[in-house]
Amino acid sequence: MGDKPIWEQIGSSFVQHYYQLFDADRTQLGAIYIDASCLTWEGQQFQGKAAIVEKLSSLPFQKIQHSITAQDHQPTPDSCILSMVVGQLKADDDQVLGFHQTFLLKNYQGAWVCTNEVFRLALHNG
């Protein structure tokens, strides 16, 4: 991993950590957000750590497993990291669905946090 740019190392580590937490216990995700964080989940807007964790914790499934197909990371001019993830998820006994998720990561008080996040299932009509 040492041959990759630092933003790719940080982005990849964040993505791995995020999905491990999400799949094991979504209620623990609060540590990666700050009160100014924003989440758009299937078009619904949530702002603040508490609102985001409440939304993620209340999703209507008992168990979930994510499989990451690809991830891309970019440095931003203001020293943040933009990460885009493409993958598949399986919730409970539902069919496997594709998804896209984007994170904006910022170093805040010595730790990398998610300030912005957008999630969409990859659903196509027709």
Mean pLDDT of the 12-31 span? 96
Three-class secondary structure of residue 35 per DSSP? strand
- Tell me the C-alpha distance between 11 and 71, whole Å: 9
* Start-to-end C-alpha separation, the chain: 41
Of the pLDDT bands very low, low, confident and very high (cuts 50, 70, 90), residue 125 is low
Residue 2 is predicted with a pLDDT of 58
Indicate the CATH number for domain 4-119.
3.10.450.50
- Residue pair 81/7 in contact (Cβ under 8 Å)? The answer is yes
Per-residue pLDDT at 10 exceeds 80: yes
Annotated domain spans of the chain:
4-119
2 vs 69, residue with greater confidence? 69
Q: What's the pLDDT tens digit per position in 55-80?
A: 999 999 999 999 999 999 999 999 99
Per-residue pLDDT at 81 exceeds 70: yes
